């Protein structure tokens, strides 16, 4: 008897990237950091007397504040909704059920694509930040070590929001509803941040972007943020894969 060859993780990843090939999402990925830098640099130039801390830190507060609090998590919300959009259309869940593909591969390929989107956006943002500091604003101070934290922690910490959004977009058929929830989550996250509750997904993203602290987070803060993100990713992955198995059966 001929056995059907299962499609692996790499094939799923390829398919997920194909879905986003001509997506308007990439415009947002490129233009939001560009706008943030353009406006943040202008704002820094006009208000640098009022800003405390070093030049690089002052610039980061201006470029990353709104971006980190609202637009970066929302970008993840839209990306997650785009990734499930085709599956929710017409009878595509039934079609997917007939394909020899494992639920775990589907889930983790989508999560990997989201991580990729988060990295691209953050790398672009940090590259523009460095360019703006050295070339446009002509800072003489060397680039602080915190830049590395911005580069790595941003995409890692935003994965808590991304994985929750991926799960919500899987559960909710509507394209817009999970994005609305994400928007509300931004406010709840900010509220939790102001009150010292750090486990909420959007709060983890805010801590990761680090737009209000002059120094690097302490070791215990880093442990908290990373373990919090890990918690959300694992929780939503377990729930998401279970849901996918149910749909297949």
Binding site for other proteins (CB under 8 A): 23-25, 27-28, 31-32, 35-36, 39, 42-43, 49-50, 66, 70-71, 74-75, 78, 81-82, 85, 174-177, 179-181, 183-184, 187-188, 190-191
Measure the CA dihedral 67/132/152/11, to 10°: 80
CB nearer to other proteins: pick between 130 and 190 = 190
Work out how close the CB of 238 gets to other proteins at its nearest, in angstroms, rounded to a whole number: 26
Instruction: List the one residue out of 111, 109, 113 whose CA is nearest residue 23.
Output: 113
Beta partners for 101? 7
> CB-wise, 13 or 177, nearer to other proteins?
177
In whole angstroms, give the CA distance from residue 113 to residue 157: 15
Cα–Cα distance measured from residue 174 to residue 211, given in angstroms and rounded to the nearest whole number: 33
Taking the complex as a whole, the smallest distance from the CB of residue 127 to other proteins amounts, in Å, to: 19
Task: CB nearer to other proteins: give 27 or 219.
Answer: 27
In angstroms, give the least distance from the CB of 51 to other proteins. Answer: 9
Closest distance to other proteins from the beta carbon of 184 (Å):
4
CB 43 within 8 A of CB 67: no
Instruction: Give the integer Cα–Cα distance in Å for 58 and 133.
Output: 10
């Amino acid at each position: 008897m001929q056995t059907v060859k299962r499609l692996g993780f790499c094939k799923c990843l390829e398919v997920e990237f194909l879905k986003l090939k001509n997506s308007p999402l990439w415009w947002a990925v490129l233009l939001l950091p560009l706008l943030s830098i353009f406006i943040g640099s202008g704002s820094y130039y006009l208000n640098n007397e009022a800003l405390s801390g070093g030049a690089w830190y002052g610039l980061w507060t201006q470029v990353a504040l709104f971006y980190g609090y609202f637009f970066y998590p929302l970008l993840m919300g839209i990306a997650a909704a785009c990734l499930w959009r085709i599956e929710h259309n017409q009878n595509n869940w039934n079609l997917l059920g007939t394909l020899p593909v494992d639920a775990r591969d589907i889930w983790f390929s989508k999560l990997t694509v989201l991580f990729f989107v988060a990295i691209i956006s953050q790398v672009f943002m940090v590259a523009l930040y460095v360019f703006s500091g050295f070339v446009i604003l002509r800072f003489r101070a060397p680039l602080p070590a915190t830049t590395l934290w911005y580069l790595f922690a941003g995409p890692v910490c935003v994965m808590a929001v991304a994985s929750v959004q991926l799960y919500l977009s899987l559960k909710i058929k509507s394209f817009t509803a999970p994005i609305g929830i994400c928007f509300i989550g931004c406010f709840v996250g900010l509220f939790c941040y102001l009150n010292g509750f750090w486990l909420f997904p959007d709060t983890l993203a805010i801590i990761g972007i680090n737009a209000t602290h002059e120094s690097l987070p302490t070791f215990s803060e880093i442990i908290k943020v990373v373990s919090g993100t890990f918690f959300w990713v694992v929780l939503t992955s377990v729930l998401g894969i279970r849901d996918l198995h149910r749909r297949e059966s």
